[in-house]
Chain A
C-alpha cells in the first residue's frame, strides 16, 4: 500500500524528508535504508515493536546520531545536524518520554530557557512571566509560572515542554510516547494542543503504543519493523488488525507454521487442582496496570500476550514486588503474600527471570558458579560461611542439566554468549526449587540453538509440575509455548484464550480489539476489570465482537 500523494502546487509537499537512512551499531543494523516523509500540518504516527528502529530513526533525524548513509532534507534543503541543538535551531523539536526540562527552575524560566526576554541587558522577569502565563493558558495550564517546574503535575510539565518546543518556531515536533505518563484528561488536552499545531501547519510525529490514541489523533502512519519501514500510508485506510499484523510481521489469516519452535504443542497437565499455584488479583499500578488478574495452575504455561507497553513486564514485576503496586493481592498456593518484595516472593516459591539480562540479571564480574548460586547463598552456607561442596554440587547439576557451555565454572559470566548467560540465570532460579516461574522474554537475543533448548526446558519444567507465566513478544513462541493466553492491553486484561483458541489469529484479533465503549481510559478499564476476573469467555467474546468495527476504520 503506497501513500496517495497530494498533487500540491508546490514542488515539494514534504516539510521533512529522510531518504535511505542506514545506521548500524557494532555490526547490528538498527536502520536499514529507511525512507520517511512528513507533510506540513499532519500528525504522523510512527509505530513498531521493540527494536524496530523508531528511536534510532528519531535520533538520526534530530542529530543525536549521524547516519551511516542517507540524507535528511528539511523544507527541501539537505541538512546534516551534528547536535540536537542544531536540529532544534533548524525547527525540529523533540519531546521525550521523560520530560527533560530543569525541574528546579521556575516554569517561566524553563519556557524561555536560552532566549529570555531582555531589558537593559538583564532578564526582563516581568515580561517573561506575563508571556509564560499567556502561553500556558493557551495550552490549558493555569499555574503560577514563578514556581519551580517540579511543583507542577507531570501532565502540566509535559505541556510546558510542548509549549517550549513550539515556541522555538518549530516546523516539526516529534513526540516520543508523550501520553505514557498522562491521565486521560491530560491526554485529551494534549490532543487538542496537537490539533492546534496541525492547524498551524506544523508537522507532528506521534510515537505511541496505544492504538486508540493513534486512531484518535493521527492522519498518516509509518510502520517500522526490524530497522526498516514496512508500510506508510493513511491511517484511516488501515484496520487495527492490519496495523498489528504489520507491526508484528504477520500476514493476516495465514495458517501458522506448526512446530517452528521447539515447544511440544501438546497441552500440559490438565487443571485438576482446585487451587492455582499463583493467583494475582486486581494488580494496580499508576498509569501502567489497571486491575490485572490472572491465575496460573501447577503444570501449565500461561502466556501473557500484548503489545509493547501493554504492561506485561510490569505485571510480572508487580507479582514479585520488584515494582511497587498501588493495589491488588498475590496468592501462592492459596497463601497470600504480604509486604511483597523479590526476597519474600522467592521464599514463597515465586521467581522471575527478568527481561533485561544485562541490567537485571547477571552480575558481570562474578563467575558462572557465583552467578548460579547467588540467590541460594543462604542455603549453601552454615553460619554465613559458604560450603564449597554444596555449591559445586548444585553448579555441576545445573550446568549439566541446562548444558551451559563455559570453559569452567570459574569463567566470568560476562564472557559467555547470551544464550549461556540466560541458562545461567535460569539455573539461578531453578536451584531455588520454585513453584512458580515468571519468564520475561526468556529467549530474546539468544542464538537459535540455545533458544530451542530454553523452549524445550520450559516445556519440561511445566511437565514436572511448575507453574509458568511466559511473556514473549514472539507470537510463535507465545502460541506454541502456552496452554492458555491472557491478553493485556494498556495495562488491562482484555481477553483470555483457552485451549483451541490459542491461535495466532485469535491473538491478533484480541490485540486489535477496540474497547467495549469507544472512550478510552478508565471507564473502559473498569468494565474490563470486571469481565476479566470472573467470566473470561465473555471478555473474549466482547473482544471478538468489537472486531467488525475495525473494518469500518474507527476514528
Chain B
C-alpha cells in the first residue's frame, strides 16, 4: 500500500514538474503582467511596449539561434562577439549602401558559425570551448577593425530598420517575430528540425541511423551566427552608432537565460521556440518592472538569478528520466 501511494506521489510530482517545464513560462508571464499592471496601469501604454520591444527584439533573434544550438546539446558563446563584429563592419561598408553592408555583416556571421560549427563537428572540440575562443577572438577583431571610439552611423535605411514602426509596432519586432515563426515552422515541419532534435537527444543513435550529423551541427551554428549578425545590424541602426566595444556585451548570457527560462533543456533533444519567445519576453519585462519601480540594479540581477535557478530546476526532470 505504501509503495503504491509513493508511486502515485512520485508520478504526480513528475507530472507537475513536466507541466511546469511545459507551461510554467506562460503562467509566469501572465502573473507578471497582472502584477505589473496592478502596480502601474501605465505599463500597458503603447509607448512603454515600444520601448520594451526595441530592447527585446535583438535578444530574441539571438535567443532563437541559441535555442537551436542548445537543442543539439551545444552552446554558442560567440553571439555577443558576432554582434560586435557586425557592428564593426557596418561603418566600413556603408559607403556601398545599406544592403551590401547588411549582407557582408550576415556573411561574416555565417562564416563565424561555420568556423565554430566545423571545430565542433569535425575536430570534436566541445561547443563551449570552440565558441569561447570565437567569443574572445571576434570581439578583439571587431575592436581592431573599428578603432577606439564608437562611430556614428547615419544611413537612413539602417536607422529606419532600428527606429521605424509598421502598424505601430517597431520594424525590429516584426523581423524578430518573422524569425520566430520561421524557426517554429522549421522545427515542426522539416527534416532538418527533426534531425536536429534527434542529434541533440542521442547522437550515437542518430549517427547509426545515417543522419548527416556534421552537416546539421554546422548549419545550426551558421544559423546562430547569421541571426546574431542581424541582431548586431539592428542594434547599430537603433543606436545610430557602431560601438563594438560595448554592443552585444553579455548577449550570450541573456540569450541562454531566455532559452532556459523558456523551458528548453540544456541537455538537448528539445527546442521550444514559442517558449523561447515567452522566456525572452519574461526576462525583458521583469527587468523593466523592477527598474520602473526603482529597484536597485543589483537586486534586479539577484531576482534574475533566482528565476534562472528555478527554470533550471524545473527542466531538471529530463535528466533523471
Contacts and interface: CB of A to CB of B under 8 A. Distances in A.
Interface of A: 320, 322, 342-343, 345-347, 352, 354, 359-366, 370, 374-375, 377-378, 380-381, 384-386, 414, 428
Contacts of A360: 202, 204-205, 208
A374 B192 contact: no
B124 interface: no
B209 A374 contact: yes
A385 B318 contact: no
A385 B189 contact: yes
Interface stretch (B128-136, B193-201, B299-307): B193-201
A362 B202 contact: yes
B191 A384 contact: yes
B285 to A, nearest CB: 30
Contacts of A377: 191, 194-195, 211
Interface residues of B, number: 23
B212 A363 contact: no
B208 A342 contact: yes
B55 interface: no
Given A374-B194, A374-B198, A414-B321, A363 B189 contact: no
A501 B194 CA distance: 47
A359 B211 contact: no
A354 B208 contact: yes
A366 B211 contact: no
A66 to B, nearest CB: 22
Nearest to A377: B191
B205 A365 contact: no
A322 B318 CA distance: 28
B24 to A, nearest CB: 18
Given A386-B190, A414-B321, 6 more contacts: A354-B208, A366-B198, A377-B194, A384-B191, A385-B190, A386-B194
A378 B204 contact: no
B206 interface: yes
Contacts of A347: 210
B198 A384 contact: no
A257 B321 CA distance: 40
B211 A343 contact: yes
B113 interface: no
B270 A365 contact: yes
Contact of B201 (A363, A384, A428): A363
B13 interface: no
B201 A364 contact: yes
Task: Return the 7 tightest CB-CB contacts between A and B, nearest first.
Answer: A343-B210, A346-B210, A375-B209, A377-B191, A363-B198, A381-B191, A365-B269
A18 B204 CA distance: 39
A362 B189 CA distance: 21
Contacts of A378: 191
Contacts of A384: 190-192
B202 A386 contact: no
Contact of B205 (A359, A380, A381): A359
Contacts of A375: 209-211
B321 A364 contact: yes
B211 A365 contact: no
B207 interface: yes
Nearest to B188: A386
B238 to A, nearest CB: 33
A343 B199 CA distance: 14
A342 B201 contact: no
B273 to A, nearest CB: 16
Contacts of B270: 365
A342 B209 contact: yes
Given A343-B211, A343-B212, A384-B190, A366 B197 contact: yes
Contacts of B321: 364, 414
